[in-house]
Amino acid sequence: MGAGPGLPALLAREQFAFLRRDRGAWADHLARARAFLGEGLRGATGPALVLGAGSGLEVPWSLAPRGTTGWDADPTSRIRTLLRHGRWVPWVQADLTGGMADLAAAARRSARQPWSGRVRGTRSSARRLAGLMASLRPEAAPLGAWIRAHRPAAILAANVMGQFGVMAERAVTSAFGGHLPDWGEEDDPLDPALRAWTARAVTAFLARLAESGAPLWLLHDRGVLFGSARVELGPPAEPWTAQLRATEALEADDPLCGVDVARAFPGRRVAEPVRWLWPVGPGQVHVVEALRVDGQ
């Protein structure tokens, strides 16, 4: 009975698909992302930690202090950073949520017949998994342990939080044989279960960052917009959806599943978020948020 692809394999697939997209319209996003993260690297008083470092597309590694560590579970990310930036940097290849393995194991148990090992990606399997997911608590424990051991001078989160839910759904889909049950007009129990798990993962991740006391430079997808409508951002406003200006109705998704990032750091000075639009591909635009949190 195979266990199916693990997190590194899923992330490698995601990274390859991401990099194969037409990047002709990405110039403005990449310039803004590199400027924001570059400011964090330039201001670091010692080795920093770059979370979700990926292939280095958005991270200006030439500005990183010596000893700065990259963190990404994709097994190709370190070598891609070397090829792009000419730096072989210290690296951690691990799940930032600390809970993806438990989620994948629960999904496999739910989706397979115990007597035959065959996938039974049925509605009853999905209901069972939705019930099990309520007990899963992704605590980002490996991240917290690393931060306590190394005390980085600054921490940069390079567009990683918005991927927690994506990778969770991919892990569950893989366990169910590559597709989830069709619910038709019925409510899908896995959707709210996945969103709740993602919210817990994002909350725990932010808690570990808050505990570090380090200056934080957080870059993430605040929203994902679908459709062909022309969209612009108005003046800064909360919630982020109040900034949207569109010619027609939009389908908007919240990849952070309701978590307010700025409220995760009580007692710390949090700068006003800066947002911009990133046209990722046809019919898909991301609302990117850059948020700076002062150190303690």
Could you tell me the residue ranges of all domains in the chain?
7-222
**What pLDDT shows up at residue 185?**
78
Average pLDDT estimate for 106-130: 84
Rounded to an integer, what distance in angstroms lies between the CA atom of residue 12 and that of residue 182?
27
Question: Is the pLDDT score of 186 beyond 90?
Answer: no
Both tokens of 18, joined, read 């991401």
pTM: 0.90
How many other C-beta atoms lie within 10 A of the C-beta of residue 260? 12
Q: Which alpha helices (H) appear in 190-261, and where do they start and end?
A: 190-212
pLDDT band, very low/low/confident/very high, at 8 (cuts 50, 70, 90) = low
The string of pLDDT tens digits covering residues 132-151 is 999 999 999 999 999 999 99
Tell me the average pLDDT across 200-228.
Answer: 97
pLDDT higher than 90, residue 82: yes
Residue entry with tokens 């110039």 = 27
CA distance 66 to 46: 8
